[in-house]
Chain A
Amino acid sequence: MGLLTEGTALSWEETKKQADHVRKHGIQQFIYQYHKCKDLEKECLYWGDEVEYMLVKLDKANKQCRLVLKAKEVLKKLQKRELECPNDHPSTWRPEYAEYMVEGTPGKPYGGLMAHFNMVEANMKLRREEIQKLLAYDEVPLSLTAFPRIGCENFTSPALKPTPEKGYSHSLFFPDGAINQGHPRFHTLTRNIRERRGKKVAINIPIYKDKNTKVPFKEDLSQYGDDGTSQSAALTDHVYLDAMGFGMGASCLQVTFQACNINEGRQLYDQLAPLCPILLALSAASPIYRGYLTDIDNRWTVIAQSVDDRTDEELGLKELKENKFRIKKSRYDSIDSYLSPQGQCYNDIDLVYDQDLYDDLRKGDVDDLLAKHMSHLFIRDPVSLFSEKINQIDEEEMDHFENIQSTNWQTMRFKPPPPNSPIGWRVEFRPMEVQLSDFENAAYVTFIVLLTRVILTYKLNLIIPISKVDENMKTAFKRDAVLNEKFYFRKDFFTESWPPSGEYCDKKKCDKIEDEYELMTVDEIFNGKGESPGLLGVIKHYITEVECDVDTQCTVLQYLKLISKRASGELQTTSKWMRNFVTSHPDYKQDSRVSESIVYDLLEKCDKISKYELEVPELLIPPKSKSAEAIPEAISAAYKLIDDKKNSIIANGH
């Protein structure tokens, strides 16, 4: 969702003029906040999930699906409760990039009890019901990663015509009206990214080559009004897309959690980073774009290309004159460095960073790793800026920092405490694709949070060279990566010990690193191999050792079962299931085209799955968790009893 300032958005030219100002002050704001908060200790784990939904119209009579453009009005109603009762609302709602999307999070963050894992699915269900109540009889909220016919003719309701020659996107396929209408940020970003780049974004996705697919595959884009520029940006044998909406109009599943202090935050950021490509592959749910079956299983490369604001110089296509750096990745992509001393030896990518900002950070007494991380994020220009927010008091405000921080969309995000807030240092896990049902989404979210508890309890170390994590990312996009590919993973993730506060690296020399990792299948990573228990083995052990009530145990075991079977291939990923649905549909002509009728049938099924009205044994186990909206009364009663007794002991001077 990012920074949702209200106000007057500047044009790109004006924004560009302020770029250095934003960067310099953003870094200063970070330095102040860093020093204010670097010794902050938070006793409690707080965490929450973010689910993005699309509003879909299922037109049964005509067997058509449309994305419904009514986020503004729906959000207004969804947010009513939060506005009226700011401390007592079960869910929190925010706008997202598209006018057909809403984003929901739990009203209160979850905490550190096992019993909290039993609340996740129930709250997600509640959110879905809240949206459904506000929709028409033929409209449904779907937690769908990518709408299969996005960019096809009349894919929205109301139907809108794209405007290739004017507006924000200049897209042949994506009308500006499909961008969020309630907030200037989204179309401002769209326009500024395009203007910074000097041309509209170009997204090329390898097409899935089926028996009757045209070879070579190259669409005649003039039929959409192209004057030739798109045609030259479109690659052969690829599905061509040309707007930020194709990427940012996709949905995902994110988890944010609060660490107990900055060092733990940095440790967990590093420990989860190698999991990003793997969870991306495991959650794969988006093989279809603009009505074509593609050769990728998930959205990552689509979004990366959709917000790629790099100029030709930065891309290395021209000599550097106007721009300062050659930049290797889009501002939406995987992280480039580890933050903890444990991870230091594994930073083997050449990091591009701003030397002046780095020096400012070092002068400001920020350590080398964190300084490099920040000055690397801050090579980017701000791509939206509001006139009211240009001049800030750096000691008290953080908008410039957030501006750049929130427009670096990476697999992980390390978040400093916001100003004037009780919230601590946080880590955001961002790669996962959203699944169709709340059962599945709760399972993936539970897995990640449980894994962090396990990492901290047993002092695991999952770190591998960051260049290998990047290689894993490329592997993760591939069709059926979970089944057919291998990923670099740490061989032995049990350590003798952890440096107690992560303040030093306990490796004597940074060598023999190649012996620490090897290629493994997803099955081996999760379910283990030989003596190694795999990630699920360690988690299962943890939940027998930690205090857990019967319902939570039942629920969590089912979630782990789902993850285990997805990892072993016994259950299909959502992506594979969708592919199979398409290729075995009677209307499919083996030409990679996914027609309206096929999409209708597919999404009708998706809707039923999301409402638990349809069992699909090849996709998921029967979703029979014991999730409930609140933790058992008995737990609160027990805690109260114990606290009362403790207090009386202290009172008696025991």
Chain B
Amino acid sequence: MAETIPLFPKLGNIVVQSGNIVNWNRLKRKPNNTPTEEICECISACLNKHLESADRNQLQYTTELFCENKEFKEKLPDDERDNLKITVKVILYNRENPEVINDAVDKALNELGVSFVETVILAIPDPNEDLTVEDFKPSWQILQKLVDEQKILSLGVSDLDKTKFEQLFTWASVKPIIDQVNLASCCVMPEDLREFAKQHDILLLTHNDPPDVLPLQQLQDTIRKSSTQKDGDFWQPSWISRYSVIVKCRGIIRTKGYVIDLIKDIKRRN
């Protein structure tokens, strides 16, 4: 960290695969970790590991980094597949390029060694609360295609109020069956959303993610901690895939992990 010469000046894309981090000690997670802290820890762990053995000279020219925690990589055994329920939450920052969803889902499928997942939940961070349903449609079309390809069995969204949810529900050909809400509001759900959900068999599930799960400052500081001040500049999340695998009728979380795609805003770099 004392170095001021950037370690990877040409790096434009980092993909982090955390592997299975459900077991507490694997990440030296503090038990009270927030999702943000958890994601940053994944990034740190991967970067640190990679940088340990990387060739410093080569790094100067590296444009893409695939960082994975090989020791935690766990493909799901075929004979267990029937008992498992896999949910992937895709947090899409890069909504101008919704086709990255394909990557987000494929990488999760690959990581787990499966050909389909039961549910994908789409979250588009909306810090200014100014997104409309139109902002969801392009992504939703990508997801619908993946459903047609039988890579996904069911779809859901995160943090849509009744109005937007109903609009999406009405327009979509593959209808969302889940709306995720922040658990802070679980006891005080708006009546209109509850009613709509009841009428249409929509599952209202809870999540614990803040509106912006990987704020720029925190992301960049995380990268800096593993490298240099300049190395952290201009990074932003493109998408985050959080996958979780539950043993269906035993309520045990078998696997939980992240695939995190980070890009450097190249336009601003110079």
Least CB separation from A496: chain B residue: B25
Which residues of B sit under 8 angstroms from A533, Cβ to Cβ? 31-32
Which residues of B sit under 8 angstroms from A43, Cβ to Cβ? 83, 248-250
Decide if A549 touches B154 in the complex (CB within 8 Å): no
Q: Given A548-B206, A634-B177, A531 and B253 touching (CB < 8 A)?
A: no
Q: Tell whether A113 is near chain B: CB-to-CB under 8 Å.
A: yes
Which residues of A sit under 8 angstroms from B246, Cβ to Cβ? 546-547
Decide if A654 touches B256 in the complex (CB within 8 Å): no
Q: A654–B109 Cα gap in the complex (Å)? A: 15
Report the stretch among B48-56, B93-101, B130-138, B195-203 that lies at the interface.
B195-203
Which residues of A sit under 8 angstroms from B116, Cβ to Cβ? 649, 654
The listed residue (B23, B201, B247, B256) touching A545 by CB distance below 8 A is: B256
Q: Tell whether A641 is near chain B: CB-to-CB under 8 Å.
A: yes
Decide if A634 touches B253 in the complex (CB within 8 Å): no
Q: Tell whether A613 is near chain B: CB-to-CB under 8 Å.
A: no
Decide if A44 touches B250 in the complex (CB within 8 Å): yes
Q: Tell whether A4 is near chain B: CB-to-CB under 8 Å.
A: no
Which residues of A sit under 8 angstroms from B201, Cβ to Cβ? 633-634, 637-638
Which residues of B sit under 8 angstroms from A642, Cβ to Cβ? 85, 118-119, 153-154
Q: A645–B116 Cα gap in the complex (Å)? A: 11
Q: Tell whether B226 is near chain A: CB-to-CB under 8 Å.
A: no
Least CB separation from B204: chain A residue: A550
Q: A260–B207 Cα gap in the complex (Å)? A: 28
CB distance from B181 to the nearest CB of A (A): 6
Task: Render B106-129 as a binary contact track against A, CB cut-off 8 A, 1 for contact.
Answer: 000000000110110000000000
Q: Which of B228-258 contact A (CB under 8 A)?
A: 244, 246-253, 256
Decide if A654 touches B150 in the complex (CB within 8 Å): yes
Which residues of A sit under 8 angstroms from B5, Cβ to Cβ? none
Report the stretch among B39-47, B61-69, B182-190 that lies at the interface.
B182-190
Q: Which of A516-533 contact B (CB under 8 A)?
A: 531-533
Decide if B153 touches A641 in the complex (CB within 8 Å): yes
Which residues of B sit under 8 angstroms from A544, Cβ to Cβ? 183, 206-208
Q: Which of B139-193 contact A (CB under 8 A)?
A: 150, 153-154, 177-178, 181, 183, 185-187, 189
Q: Which of A541-563 contact B (CB under 8 A)?
A: 541-542, 544-551, 553-554, 557-558
The listed residue (B30, B154, B186) touching A638 by CB distance below 8 A is: B154
Decide if A549 touches B203 in the complex (CB within 8 Å): yes
Decide if A457 touches B253 in the complex (CB within 8 Å): yes
Q: A546–B24 Cα gap in the complex (Å)? A: 15
Decide if A545 touches B244 in the complex (CB within 8 Å): yes
* A interface SS class: helix
Task: Render B8-43 as a binary contact track against A, CB cut-off 8 A, 1 for contact.
Answer: 000000000000001111000011100000000000
Decide if B250 touches A458 in the complex (CB within 8 Å): no
Which residues of B sit under 8 angstroms from A553, Cβ to Cβ? 183, 186, 206
Decide if B115 touches A494 in the complex (CB within 8 Å): no
Q: A547–B202 Cα gap in the complex (Å)? A: 14
Decide if B23 touches A497 in the complex (CB within 8 Å): yes
Q: A550–B159 Cα gap in the complex (Å)? A: 13
Which residues of A sit under 8 angstroms from B178, Cβ to Cβ? 638
Which of A44, A531, A533, A545 is packed against the most chain B CB atoms within 10 Å? Answer: A545
Which of B87, B154, B187 is packed against the most chain A CB atoms within 10 Å? Answer: B187
Q: Given A637-B177, A642-B118, A649 and B32 touching (CB < 8 A)?
A: no
Least CB separation from B208: chain A residue: A544
Q: A533–B31 Cα gap in the complex (Å)? A: 6
Least CB separation from B24: chain A residue: A494
Q: A537–B31 Cα gap in the complex (Å)? A: 7
Which residues of A sit under 8 angstroms from B253, Cβ to Cβ? 457, 542, 545-546
Least CB separation from A537: chain B residue: B31
Least CB separation from A494: chain B residue: B24
Decide if B187 touches A554 in the complex (CB within 8 Å): yes
Which of B85, B116, B186 is packed against the most chain A CB atoms within 10 Å? Answer: B186
The listed residue (B24, B83, B205) touching A458 by CB distance below 8 A is: B24
Q: Tell whether A152 is near chain B: CB-to-CB under 8 Å.
A: no
* B interface SS class: mixed
Q: Which of A478-525 contact B (CB under 8 A)?
A: 494-497
Q: Tell whether A459 is near chain B: CB-to-CB under 8 Å.
A: yes
Q: Tell whether A112 is near chain B: CB-to-CB under 8 Å.
A: yes
Which residues of A sit under 8 angstroms from B22, Cβ to Cβ? 457-458, 545
Q: Tell whether A453 is near chain B: CB-to-CB under 8 Å.
A: yes
Decide if B154 touches A645 in the complex (CB within 8 Å): yes
Decide if A45 touches B250 in the complex (CB within 8 Å): yes
Q: A113–B246 Cα gap in the complex (Å)? A: 10
Q: A120–B248 Cα gap in the complex (Å)? A: 20
Q: A654–B81 Cα gap in the complex (Å)? A: 14
Least CB separation from A495: chain B residue: B25
Q: A142–B186 Cα gap in the complex (Å)? A: 32
Least CB separation from B152: chain A residue: A645
CB distance from A595 to the nearest CB of B (A): 42
Least CB separation from A650: chain B residue: B82
Q: Tell whether A114 is near chain B: CB-to-CB under 8 Å.
A: yes
Which residues of B sit under 8 angstroms from A646, Cβ to Cβ? 153
Which residues of B sit under 8 angstroms from A44, Cβ to Cβ? 249-250
CB distance from A462 to the nearest CB of B (A): 14
Which residues of B sit under 8 angstroms from A634, Cβ to Cβ? 177, 197-198, 201-204
Q: Given A553-B183, A634-B177, A637-B201, A531 and B251 touching (CB < 8 A)?
A: no
CB distance from A366 to the nearest CB of B (A): 26
Which residues of B sit under 8 angstroms from A7, Cβ to Cβ? none
Which residues of A sit under 8 angstroms from B31, Cβ to Cβ? 494, 531-533, 537-538, 541
Q: A541–B21 Cα gap in the complex (Å)? A: 13
Which residues of A sit under 8 angstroms from B85, Cβ to Cβ? 547, 642
Decide if A641 touches B25 in the complex (CB within 8 Å): no
Least CB separation from B202: chain A residue: A634
Q: A43–B185 Cα gap in the complex (Å)? A: 33
Least CB separation from B187: chain A residue: A554
Q: A172–B122 Cα gap in the complex (Å)? A: 71
The listed residue (A453, A557, A635, A652) touching B186 by CB distance below 8 A is: A557
Which residues of A sit under 8 angstroms from B247, Cβ to Cβ? 112
Decide if A113 touches B249 in the complex (CB within 8 Å): yes
CB distance from B188 to the nearest CB of A (A): 9
Q: Which of A440-465 contact B (CB under 8 A)?
A: 453, 456-459
Least CB separation from A45: chain B residue: B250
Which residues of B sit under 8 angstroms from A635, Cβ to Cβ? 203
Least CB separation from A117: chain B residue: B251
Which residues of A sit under 8 angstroms from B252, Cβ to Cβ? 112, 453, 456-457
The listed residue (B24, B25, B32, B205) touching A548 by CB distance below 8 A is: B205
Q: A646–B201 Cα gap in the complex (Å)? A: 20
Q: Given A495-B25, A549-B203, A45 and B249 touching (CB < 8 A)?
A: yes
Decide if A453 touches B83 in the complex (CB within 8 Å): no
Which residues of B sit under 8 angstroms from A652, Cβ to Cβ? 150
Q: A88–B185 Cα gap in the complex (Å)? A: 35
Q: A458–B206 Cα gap in the complex (Å)? A: 21
Least CB separation from A116: chain B residue: B251
Decide if A638 touches B177 in the complex (CB within 8 Å): yes
Q: Given A642-B118, A642-B153, A654-B150, A549 and B204 touching (CB < 8 A)?
A: yes
Which residues of B sit under 8 angstroms from A557, Cβ to Cβ? 183, 186-187
11 further A-B pairs in the complex, CB-CB below 8 A; given A641-B153, A654-B115: A45-B249, A453-B251, A457-B22, A457-B252, A541-B32, A545-B253, A547-B246, A549-B206, A550-B204, A550-B206, A553-B183
Q: Which B residues are closer than 8 A to A by beta carbons?
A: 22-25, 30-32, 83, 85, 87, 115-116, 118-119, 150, 153-154, 177-178, 181, 183, 185-187, 189, 197-198, 201-208, 244, 246-253, 256
Instruction: List, sorted by A's number, 25 A–B pairs whose CB atoms are closer than 8 Å.
Output: A43-B249, A113-B249, A453-B250, A456-B250, A457-B22, A457-B253, A458-B22, A532-B31, A533-B32, A537-B31, A537-B32, A544-B207, A545-B244, A545-B253, A547-B85, A550-B204, A551-B186, A633-B198, A633-B201, A634-B202, A637-B201, A638-B178, A645-B154, A654-B116, A654-B150
